[in-house]
Amino acid sequence: MNTQAVADRLVQLCREGKNMEAIEELYADDVVSTEADGAADPVTHGKEAVAKKSSDWLANVQEFHGGGVSDPIVAGDYFSCRMDFDVTFKERERMQMEEICVFRVSGGKITFEQFFYNLPG
């Protein structure tokens, strides 16, 4: 799959709430995932660790009120989209989050992702 096809598939799966399936299907074994500057453990290496980061995040959600993913913008091996969530975490307040996401595709798989957002303050 080229960058556009991977981007479209990622967006489709995330819109269906199939975030874990997206990682399983689309991510390279050696993917590198980078959170916002200042985040704890900002860089995660490897598909297994990235999947655990996502499943840990999902396990902390008490209620998912809504969210969305924009259509992707594609440029060469990279694509970008906006993701937003409205969630109540366990033992924490309800929170609206929005982020710019950048992905790199190589050999038909996502090998790099980086997220840009303000840390909750």
Binding positions for a second copy, rule: CB under 8 A: 70, 73-84, 98-100, 102, 104, 116-118
- How far apart (Å, rounded) are the C-alpha atoms in residues 25 and 110? 10
| Shortest spacing between CB 71 and a second copy, in angstroms | 8
| Shortest spacing between CB 56 and a second copy, in angstroms | 22
> Cβ closer to a second copy: 59 or 107?
107
> Cβ closer to a second copy: 60 or 70?
70
- How far apart (Å, rounded) are the C-alpha atoms in residues 58 and 54? 6
| Shortest spacing between CB 64 and a second copy, in angstroms | 18
Q: How far is CA 119 from CA 1, 17, 42, 52, 116, in A?
A: 34, 23, 12, 20, 9
| Shortest spacing between CB 61 and a second copy, in angstroms | 19
> Cβ closer to a second copy: 25 or 116?
116
Strand partners, 103: 79, 113
> Cβ closer to a second copy: 48 or 100?
100
Q: State which amino acid sits at residue 61.
A: V
- How far apart (Å, rounded) are the C-alpha atoms in residues 28 and 90? 31
